[in-house]
Each structure stands twice: as C-alpha cells, then as structure tokens.
C-alpha cells in the first residue's frame, strides 16, 4: 500500500497531515484488540476540513494509522511532554489509557525498527523534500501541521480543551508574526476559544522542522473535534455545517500566514 500522499503546490505554505490515515496492514491489524480496531484516536476528516482552503498549497499526508507508528513522534522515542501522560512512537494504549493490543501481541523493538523504516521514514523524507522544494522557490517555507483531538480526555489533560490550540514550542519554531497571525484570527473568531502554547506546544514534527533562522518555519494547529464533528464518538461523523463555519477561520489563518511568508521572502531577497 502507498504510505503517503503528496500534492505539490507553489505556495510557501505546506500542510502536514500525520494522523488522518486509517490504513493498517493486515499483519498489524491481526494483533490489535477490539478496542484498538476502533482506531478512535484518528484525526478524523482533517484533510477534508482543510481541502481547498489555500490555493496551491502543498500537502503531505500519511495514509497509515498512528497505531502502526506515530509520524509525529521522535523516532528515538523521546517524550514530547516529560512527566505527563502521552502516547509513544508506537502506542501501547489509546488516549484513554486502555490497551490497544491483544495479550502478548504488543510491538517488539524489531517491529518498531521495521515500522520506522517502512512508514515513519518515508513520510518524513517526503515532507523534508517538499520543504526543500518550496524553500527553493521562495527562500522560505512554512509547515502548518494539521491535527485534531477530542475536547475531553482526562487521561491526557484536565477539563475541556480550547477549540484552537496553537503550538510553536514557546515561539521557537516560527517567526513571531506567524504565530501572532494564527492567534489573532482565532481570538477574533466569535463562539470559539483559543490558546497559544497551552497543553499542546507543537509536536515532534513542528519542533524538528521549525528553524526560523534557516528560513523554515513551523506551526501546529490542534483543533478540538467538537468544532467539526457531529459527536466526539463513533462513528466520528463529519458535520458539514460546523465544518463550513470553522473553515472560514482556518482559511483566514492560512491566507494570513501565506501573506506573511511572502513578505518575509521578499524581505530576505531584498537583503541579499
């Protein structure tokens, strides 16, 4: 099976989708228990939500499920949030702390090494190649990493998650104007809540690629699934009315970021 999908564009903005895939090879599917086979921790419909919002944006999407291997985790297995509950490179549990593997069928070190080679590495090779391609056009690239999660998950965080969760690793992964643009749009969005670098400060992808001093900026958007799903439970159905209302604000974020990126590129070229 193809482990990723790439659509090339010429915008300085690249959309990353590491968690929308639901493909699980049969040999791995056979080892998941009934709970694991629900694939509940998918970023449901996120690639559909963003589709067409920014003309000529490049997209890189993993088609494999995060239970195969998590494309947004450090390949060395280091935790993104030391001391807090989270899931690992190959999760042992779901977001509620419940086992996803049959007894005795949890992935071994050899399994993890194989999945790094066959899934994680190809996704990041493609993402890195697109960043370099876009940077060669503009002298700058902005990776906007697209995510979603249920708004209530006591195992991972207390209370209710804001609707828009912007992560830049405390401002380290992008120019201040980029994170400010996202914050400005989300705080002005009537009926929604937002936060910058709250519970989610940007995943491994954002932190790894975001090097503003090299012309590569990265920002993560974690959306509460209540903003675009009919319910945050099976079958995790897409709510078109909710989604269209949300898409107006997402388009505002992306167009502002693109405008800033083009301005930074022009400034950089003029200073040569």
Q: Where in the chain are the domains? A: 4-271
| Helices vs. strands in the chain: H and E counts, helices first | 7, 7
Residues facing 222 on adjacent strands: 147, 165
- How would you list the strands of the sheet with 13-17, edge to edge? 4-7, 58-62, 13-17, 141-149, 216-224, 164-167, 194-196
Residue pair 171/202 in contact by the 8 Å Cβ criterion: no
CATH number of 4-271: 3.40.630.40
Residue pair 244/250 in contact by the 8 Å Cβ criterion: no
SS3 content of the chain, % helix, strand, coil (to 5): 35, 20, 45
> Which is nearest to 209 in space by CA: 150, 149, 129, 109?
129
pLDDT tens for the chain, residues 1 to 272:
799 999 999 999 999 999 999 999 999 999 999 999 999 999 999 999 999 999 999 999 999 999 999 999 999 977 676 656 567 899 999 999 999 999 999 999 999 999 999 999 999 999 999 999 999 999 999 999 999 999 999 999 899 999 999 999 999 999 999 999 999 999 999 999 999 999 999 999 999 999 999 999 999 999 999 999 999 999 999 999 999 999 999 999 999 999 999 998 888 766 66
Q: How far apart (Å, rounded) are the C-alpha atoms in residues 205 and 13?
A: 15
Q: What is the DSSP string of 235-248?
A: T--B-HHHHHHHHH
Residues facing 14 on adjacent strands: 58, 143
Please name the residue ranges forming H helices in the chain.
26-29, 46-50, 109-115, 121-138, 176-188, 204-209, 240-270
State the pLDDT at residue 106: 95
> Which is nearest to 16 in space by CA: 164, 126, 91?
126
């Amino acid at each position: 099976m193809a482990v990723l999908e790439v659509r090339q564009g010429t915008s300085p903005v690249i959309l990353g989708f590491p968690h929308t895939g639901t493909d699980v090879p049969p040999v791995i599917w056979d080892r998941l228990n009934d709970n694991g086979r629900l694939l509940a921790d998918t970023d449901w419909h996120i690639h559909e939500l963003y589709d067409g919002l920014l003309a000529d944006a490049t997209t890189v999407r993993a088609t494999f499920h995060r239970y195969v291997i998590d494309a947004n985790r450090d390949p060395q297995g280091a935790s993104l949030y030391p001391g807090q509950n989270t899931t690992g490179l190959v999760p042992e549990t779901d977001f509620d702390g419940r086992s996803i593997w049959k007894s005795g069928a949890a992935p071994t070190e050899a399994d993890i090494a194989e999945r790094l080679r066959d899934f994680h590495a190809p996704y990041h090779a493609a993402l890195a190649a697109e960043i370099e391609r876009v940077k060669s056009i503009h002298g700058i690239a902005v990776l906007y990493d697209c995510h979603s999660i249920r708004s209530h998950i006591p195992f991972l965080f207390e209370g209710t998650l804001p609707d828009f969760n912007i992560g830049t690793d405390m401002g380290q992964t992008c120019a201040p104007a980029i994170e400010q643009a996202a914050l400005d749009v989300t705080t002005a969005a009537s009926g929604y809540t937002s936060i910058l670098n709250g519970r989610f400060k940007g995943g491994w992808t954002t932190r790894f690629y975001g090097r503003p001093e090299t012309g590569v900026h990265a920002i993560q958007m974690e959306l509460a699934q209540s903003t675009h799903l009919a319910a945050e439970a099976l079958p995790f159905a897409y709510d078109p009315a909710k989604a269209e209302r949300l898409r107006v604000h997402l388009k505002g974020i992306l167009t502002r970021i693109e405008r800033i990126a083009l301005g930074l590129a022009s400034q950089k070229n003029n200073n040569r």
